[in-house]
Amino acid sequence: MYMELRFHGRGGQGAVTAATILARAALLEGKWAQAIPEFGAERRGAPVSVYARISDKPIEVHSNVIEPDIVVVLDYELLKVVDVTKGLKEGGTVILNSPVNKSPIPSKYKVYCVNATRIAKELNLVVSGWPTVNTAMVGALAKATGVIGLESAVKAIEEYFSNPTLGKLNAEAAARSYKELEPCSD
């Protein structure tokens, strides 16, 4: 198994944390992983990309991920400004945080939607006015692709947060998202 992933988010939205939690969850399953931030001077609100690799063998390649198998979009509005399927492998998977359970992504890809923003708000996971959707998107990723299981996602999330209450809420976000995720199209 060897998978490359790309996360699209906005600076401050927690895409780096999502990739880090993914890597930790993979590690809990005995897999190897890299979580790679895009190396720029990111500003809050600006579009950012984060990359990850997961494999059942040690990963030595360090060049950029340019042809991902999986794309995760944390912010639906980014679809207007970023070509999220750029380089995406044929038959690749797109996971959208969508408020409308609809997707403008071409149907040649496997597309899944979840309303992670609503889930984050329900759980009061809001920081400086922004719903933190990253942990919900990790749950969605587990459901859509199986690259990690929900159990290890939950464990990795709980371990990530030093505040146990926050850890539990974020784990709940992942679990709800896992349950609610559905295939979607136009």
Partner 1 sequence: MVLKALTANHAVAEAAKLARVKVVSAYPITPQTTIVEKLAEMIEKGEMEAKMVRVESEHSALAATLGAAAAGARAFTATSSHGLLYMHEVLWWTSGARVPVVMAVVTRAIGPPWNIHVEHSDVMDQRDTGWIIGVAQENQEAFDLTLQAFRISEDPRVYLPMIVSLDAFILSHTVAPVDVPSQQEVDAWLPSRRQPYVISPETNVVMGNIADDADYYMMRYSINAAMEAAKKVVEEVDEEYGKAFGRRYGGLVECYNCDDADYIMVLMGSWAGDAKKASDLLREKGYRVGVMRVRFVRPWPREVVQEKLSNRKGVIVFDRSISFGSAGQLFTDVAASLYGSTSIRGVVAGLGGVDVRPEDFMNEVTDFVSHVEEFGRVYEPLRWHLPPKYAKSLAEEVSA
How far apart are CB 37 and partner 1 at their closest, in Å? 5
Residues 57-96 close enough to bind partner 1 by CB under 8 A:
59-64
Phi and psi at residue 182, in whole multiples of 5°? -140, 155
What the block records as the tokens of 83 is 């070509």
By CB under 8 A, is residue 1 in contact with partner 1? Answer: no
Residues 21-60 close enough to bind partner 1 by CB under 8 A:
23-24, 27, 32-37, 39, 41, 59-60
C-alpha dist (Å) from residue 88 to 5, 25, 79, 105: 9, 23, 15, 12
> What angle (nearest 5°) sits at the alpha carbon of residue 71, between those of residues 75 and 63?
120
Q: What is the DSSP string of 41-73?
A: ---TTSEEEEEEEEESS-----S---S-SEEEE
**86, amino acid identity:** K
Distance CA 112, CA 70 (A): 11
| Number of shown-chain residues binding partner 1 (CB under 8 A) | 19
By CB under 8 A, is residue 161 in contact with partner 1? Answer: no
Among 5, 18, 19, 94, binds partner 1 (CB under 8 A): 19
How far apart are CB 82 and partner 1 at their closest, in Å? 19
By CB under 8 A, is residue 111 in contact with partner 1? Answer: no
By CB under 8 A, is residue 123 in contact with partner 1? Answer: no
Binding site residues, partner 1, CB under 8 A: 19-20, 23-24, 27, 32-37, 39, 41, 59-64
